[in-house]
Amino acid sequence: MRAGELDQRVTLERFGEYKDASGAWTEGWETVGTFWAAVLPLTGREVIAADAVTAIGDVRIIMRYRPGITPADRLTHKGKQMNITTVIDRGSAGRTLELLCKVVA
């Protein structure tokens, strides 16, 4: 994967219990980080083929490997929230992640 292919910014968010600005504990989504990624809409053919095998999303996100990302997390890209349906360690080498996501809003 070449760095030039990762030309979009995505924000990873995780749901949990956090302290707010006043110091009170609250539940909600907190930003884990913002990362460079390739954001690729899936074609109709890919969705139909993959849907027979596993839960598939509307968008494929390719990014550098980050440990701990799970389907319980979500991404935001250009104001659209995406639930992660599948996390794939491409080549099992710990270098590249492929995230299949379903656009929510």
User: What string of DSSP letters covers 28-63?
Assistant: EEEEEEEEEEEEEEPPHHHHHHHHTTS---SEEEEE
In contact, 77 and 63? CB cutoff 8 Å? no
What domains lie within the chain, and their CATH numbers?
A: 3-103 (2.40.10.270)
How many CB atoms sit inside 10 A of residue 39's CB?
21
How many other C-beta atoms lie within 10 A of the C-beta of residue 86? 16
pTM of the full predicted structure?
Answer: 0.78
Does residue 58 contact residue 52 with C-beta atoms inside 8 Å? no
Q: What local confidence, expressed as pLDDT, does residue 44 receive?
A: 58
For residue 91, give both structure tokens. Answer: 């080549």
Low-confidence ranges of the chain (pLDDT < 70): 1-3, 43-57, 105
Q: Is the distance from CB of 29 to CB of 46 less than 8 angstroms?
A: no
Q: Provide the pLDDT for residue 61.
A: 95
